[in-house]
Amino acid sequence: MTTAQTQDLTRDLDVQPTPLALLLLGREADTRSERGVDCPGDLPSPSDPDLVERARAAKEKLGDKVFVLGHHYQRDEVIQFADVTGDSFKLARDAAARPEAEYIVFCGVHFMAESADILTSDAQQVVLPDLAAGCSMADMATAEQVAECWDVLTEAGVADHVVPVSYMNSSADIKAFTGKHGGTICTSSNAERALEWAFEQGEPNSTKVLFLPDQHLGRNTAVRDMGMSLDDCVLYNPHKPNGGLTAEQLRDAKMILWRGHCSVHGRFSLDSVNDVRERVPGVNVLVHPECKHEVVEAADYVGSTEYIIKALEAAPAGSKWAIGTELNLVRRLANRFAPEGKEIVFLDKTVCFCSTMNRIDLPHLVWTLESLAEGKLVNQISVDRETEKFAKLALERMLALP
């Protein structure tokens, strides 16, 4: 993709310039990010024909000392070495349930590795094979921006009535902010329960939710699942003074949505849905709730990645599905279910990988496993104690949700 194309895409998505720009696949580097961008060692060449064998040998040498987690959106070349696959929260819990594993190699993105570090014991070290594997959505809410937002809410006289609910796809700092301010974390599977819990806190009818950082999951859950109206939601834009909102708008709102989104799911449009219905007659459109509201409204089914997988498992032979989520996962599902006579297509015509997740490739995995096998701890992700304490509080509130 050229820079001009990237700019066009950015315009299409109505994205404000963010201080932490999306990193393109295998190229460029965001030197303003808190994450490292260099690999502190010699990466094997991607054309090395022995990469698969090297990864296998290093993993075998490490034995039970290593546990490799593979996020659903990860490349096939990496997924083949995962001990478990799943979404970020499941993987973090899986790692915590394997205390004998000294090294947790997280093939995912930065916030996921942070969550794993928060939930695992001090004896376990979490490693991210490429430190530049971030998440554009998580990067759209920085600790400074959220602290400033809280000041705006305080000045508007509403902060005492606001309960923060933060999506799992947020940095440890944002999770800690949420824990400190009496809020909870949610996943795309339990967002409705998390919001119901939040609205039960404080006085009836005066509680508001500050939903971070994914506006779409917040809006879709509030409007589609909980019967609120679009007018109950306002959008807080961290790039505008006072979030671009008046004190009156903040006082009237039930949902204060942070202006963040996923660059992958944000690509799907109403046109994608209409187009696939024409291309594939009788198709069932199934999308992730990180998609835009109009896409979710036009779809037949909406749910998390786990929901999508289960829906396809239960689908009858001969059924046709267009899936609106990350392409690596959709491809794997299409291959897996083709022998059962289920036709699965990608919702959009253009490629839609998670470019940051795709930074973790086989050379990075080989380098990581071989370094660990030689006793060298590399690319460790470690959350400081104070942040961990409050982030864990917010995660525990989620675990206690009814």
**Token pair in block for residue 32:** 């303003």
Query: Is 18 one of the binding residues for ligand SF4 (CB under 6 A)?
Result: no
What are 75's two structure tokens?
Answer: 């490349």
Which among 24-32, 94-102, 176-184, 351-359 is the span making contact with ligand SF4, rule CB under 6 A? Answer: 351-359
According to DSSP, the residues that pair with 255 across neighbouring strands are: 209, 233
Options 259-267, 272-280, 294-302, 339-347: segment touching ligand SF4 (CB under 6 A): 259-267
Q: Nearest approach, Cβ of 178 to ligand SF4 (angstroms)? A: 17
Count, residues near ligand SF4 per rule CB under 6 A: 13
User: How many Cα neighbours within 13 Å face the side chain of 99?
Assistant: 3
d(CA 304, CA 191): 10
Q: Which residue lies nearer to ligand SF4 by CB, 168 or 209?
A: 168
Considering only residues 103 through 132, tell me which ones interact with ligand SF4, judged by CB under 6 A: 109
Stretch that binds ligand SF4, among 43-51, 94-102, 135-143, 327-335 (CB under 6 A): 135-143
Does 352 contact ligand SF4 by CB under 6 A? no
What are the CA-CA distances from residue 277 to residues 101, 269, 342, 375, 378 (Å)? 47, 13, 16, 54, 47
Q: Does 357 bind ligand SF4 (CB under 6 A)?
A: yes
Instruction: State the CB neighbour count (10 A cutoff) for residue 92.
Output: 27
Question: CA–CA separation, 162 vs 256, rounded Å?
Answer: 9
Q: Give the HSE-up count for residue 102: Cα atoms under 13 Å, Cβ half-sphere.
A: 11
Supply the minimum distance, in Å, between the C-beta of residue 53 and ligand SF4.
29
Q: Which is nearer to ligand SF4, 101 or 383 (CB)?
A: 383
Report in angstroms how near the CB of residue 189 gets to ligand SF4 at its nearest. 15
Q: Which long-range contacts (CB under 8 A, 24 or more apart) does 20-25 make?
A: 20/134, 20/136, 20/139, 20/140, 20/142, 21/136, 22/136, 22/263, 22/355, 22/356, 23/132, 23/134, 23/355, 23/356, 23/359, 24/355, 25/353, 25/355, 25/358, 25/359
Tell me if 83 sits within 8 A of 69, measured CB to CB. yes
Among 127, 131, 250, 264, binds ligand SF4 (CB under 6 A): 264
Binding mask 292-331 for ligand SF4 (x = CB under 6 A): ----------------------------------x-----
For position 169 contacting ligand SF4 by CB under 6 A, the verdict is yes
Among 20, 101, 149, 262, the residue binding ligand SF4 under the rule CB under 6 A is: 262
76: Cβ–Cβ under 8 A, 6 or more apart, which residues? Answer: 328, 331, 332
| Nearest distance from C-beta of residue 60 to ligand SF4, angstroms | 30
Segment interacting with ligand SF4 (CB under 6 A) among 30-38, 236-244, 300-308, 352-360: 352-360
Q: Residue 168, interface with ligand SF4 (CB under 6 A)? A: no
Distance of alpha carbon 15 from alpha carbon 213, whole angstroms: 14
Among 18, 124, 215, 263, binds ligand SF4 (CB under 6 A): 263
- Asked if residue 354 binds ligand SF4 (CB under 6 A), the reply is yes
DSSP 323-358: EES-HHHHHHHHHHHGGGT-EEEESSSS----TTGG
Site for ligand SF4 in 238-257 (CB under 6 A): none
Nearest to 293 by CA among 255, 332, 329: 255
- For residue 203, how many other CB atoms are within 10 A of its CB? 8
Supply the DSSP symbol for 304.
Answer: -
The contact pattern for ligand SF4, residues 198-237, with x = CB under 6 A and - = no contact, is ----------------------------------------
113, 137, 140, 172: residue in contact with ligand SF4 (rule CB under 6 A): 137
> Taking the alpha carbons of 45, 49, 51, 57 in that order, is the dihedral positive or negative?
negative
Residue 341 sits at φ, ψ, to 5 deg, of 80, 20
Identity of the residue, 149 or 354, whose beta carbon is nearer to ligand SF4 in the bound complex: 354
Contact letters for ligand SF4, residues 21-60 (x by CB under 6 A): ----------------------------------------
Residues near ligand SF4 (CB under 6 A)? 73, 109, 135-137, 169, 262-264, 326, 354, 356-357
